[in-house]
Amino acid sequence: MRLTNIVVALALAAPLAAQQKVDIGRPSTPDVSVRLSGALGSVKITAWERDSVAIVGGLGAGSRLDGGTLFPTGVTSGMKFYVEAADESALRGNRLELRVPRNARVWVKTGSADIEATGVTGGLDLNIVGGSVKVNARPRELIIESMDGSVTVAGGADFARVKTATGDIMMSGRGEDVLLTTISGAITVTELAVQRGRFESVTGPITFAGEVAREGDARFDTHSGAIELRLKPQANVDIEASTLTGAIENAFSARQPKVGREGRGMELMLSSGNGSARVLVKTFKGNVRIGKQ
Amino acid sequence: MTDDIHTDAETLSAYADGELKAVALARAEKHLAECADCRATLARLRSVVATAGALPREVAPPPELWRGVRGRITGLESRVARRWWHNGWLASAAAVVLVVGTALVVMPFGGDSSAKAAKIAAMRAAAETPVVVASVERHYQPTLLELREAFESQRSALKPSTVQALERSLAVIDTAIAEARAALAADPASPALAEILASYYRRKIEFLKRASTISSL
């Protein structure tokens, strides 16, 4: 990517001894693409009703912000920034806020940082190792990858892919196509209406207290985590649940689970309402509970 | 898009056996047309079925096999003391050997025909196990090795705490793989177990891919 460094270097190129103030602004297209990476302590992404991008905040002593726009003058369609820190202490002082048009696409990649995004309806692609991610928005596309960091999404997304290793995932809102996956973190879904969803873990528990849309499809899969589905009493859904060795408890209807078809574990098939949505639940040895909201 | 949501093993198995009804069949065919992973899984299922079908109905173990098995069991006893459960490969190998061993130990003293049939079934299961497990693992091991090397090559650039966190998560996946392998070893004719094992390998691959690209910051 061709990148003209014009904006940031001015006051920030040389490391300074104290906290450095960042205040950069540029007119942009409504769907501007902004990329920010490097050593960050916290990042706040705020959508505003302007066709411009601003990056404000402060950098720790010895840190350096570099980058700029794709075009030296005029309205930009892309900006890219990189932050370097002299040490861990300086990194924690690198606290930036990105103000972007609502329809912007924002990409952030960093180590351990707290990221908070509000109001963005374009796209968010956020990648951290530790820290946390909080999204209060409903972007069209939401991609979050974290190792230890927890992820909280209030609003959902048309297309969401959230992956963690040990970090917990919490989501609410509305989603057309949602994948939440973790190894040992907990997945908690509340008040989420999903058209097509996949929720999977290795050992982490999965709790779904949402809704599967008409003709929707939701799948829950874990090795040893417990799965709890809390569905609306009038849900229109067909449920197939099976375990290899785990137990299944049905508190949603009178139908009781039976021994699995291979002679082990348990399985349960039930239908509610017109059964237009399909729910599949599978565990190796995790227990399953299906109940009402 | 077809990413991430795949056709489950039971559906694929039913598809392979021509047992799906119209709607499910159409859904499966549509997904299979677009998804290389599921086509590969289907091919593996068909391979497992073909392999199982080709196995002899009676198994008469030669005497030298028992001597070898007894030697391996003796060798295993000392290795078991070295925390064998931490190693998925060893755990499954032990399971296979123990199943074979148990069948062979009991067989010479067996009486009625049902007991003999059970022993033969156990023998056949043990004989199939390596084929089934190897069939699944052959598909994933090269990629896993490459990704593990890539992860190791950047390991020194990562914070120790990050490396520890990654290793912990890999250990969790490996434990799941070991349990799935052992279950498949005990029931090698189960397509569901084969698919579970395959899905765990896919998770490990996906995780190693992510681990290889995370920030060193």
Same structural domain for residues B77 and B183? yes
Same structural domain for residues B19 and B32? yes
Lowest mean pLDDT: which of A57-66, A269-278, B14-23? B14-23
Q: Domain span at residue B50?
A: 1-54
Q: Give the confidence band of B4 by pLDDT, cuts at 50, 70, 90.
A: low
Give residue-wise pLDDT tens across range A122-133: 999 999 999 999
Q: What is the pLDDT of residue B56?
A: 43
Q: How far apart are CA B182 and CA B205, in angstroms?
A: 20
**B24, B54, B84: which is the final residue of a domain?**
B54
Contact A147 B166 (CB under 8 A): yes
Give residue-wise pLDDT tens across range A108-164: 999 989 999 999 999 999 999 999 999 999 999 999 999 999 999 999 999 999 999
A117, A179, A270, A278, B188 from A238: Cα distances, Å: 36, 20, 6, 5, 30
| ipTM of the complex in this document | 0.86
The helix (run of H) or strand (run of E) holding residue A162 is strand A150-163
Q: What is the pLDDT of residue B26?
A: 78
Q: Which residues of B touch A277 (CB under 8 A)?
A: none
Q: Which residues of A touch B190 (CB under 8 A)?
A: 262
Same structural domain for residues B33 and B70? no
Q: Could you tell me which residue, A278 or B114, shows the higher pLDDT?
A: A278
Same structural domain for residues B135 and B162? yes
Tokens of B146: 């490459």
Same structural domain for residues B22 and B83? no
Same structural domain for residues B98 and B38? no
Lowest mean pLDDT: which of A101-105, B15-19, B200-204? B15-19
Q: What is the pLDDT of residue B84?
A: 31
Total domains in the fold of chain B: 2
CB A275 within 8 A of CB A262: no
Same structural domain for residues B97 and B173? yes
**B54, B73, B91: which is the final residue of a domain?**
B54
Contact A202 B199 (CB under 8 A): no
Same structural domain for residues B92 and B177? yes
Same structural domain for residues B188 and B87? yes
Same structural domain for residues B37 and B72? no
**Pick from B1, B26, B24: nearest CA to B11:** B24
Compute the count of residue pairs across chains A and B with CB atoms less than 8 Å apart.
Answer: 86
Q: Which residues of B touch A183 (CB under 8 A)?
A: 169, 172-173, 203, 207
Q: CA of A47, closest CA in chain B: separation in Å?
A: 26
Average of per-residue pLDDT values in chain A? 91
**Pick from A126, A190, A137, A135: nearest CA to A163:** A126
Q: Give the confidence band of B103 by pLDDT, cuts at 50, 70, 90.
A: very low
Selected for mutation to probe chain A from B1, B2, B3, B5 (highest A CB count within 10 Å) is B5
Q: Which residues of B touch A267 (CB under 8 A)?
A: none
- pTM, full prediction: 0.72
Q: What is the pLDDT of residue A192?
A: 84
Same structural domain for residues B100 and B180? yes
- Close Cβ partners of B88 (under 8 Å, ≥ 6 residues apart): B174, B175, B177, B178, B181
Lowest mean pLDDT: which of A12-21, A190-199, B91-100? B91-100
The DSSP-derived string for B100-128 is: HHHHHHHGGG--SHHHHHHHHHHHHHHHH
Does the pLDDT of residue B86 top 60, yes or no? no
Q: Is A264 exposed, middle or buried (0-12, 13-18, 19+ CB in 10 A)?
A: middle
Same structural domain for residues B16 and B60? no
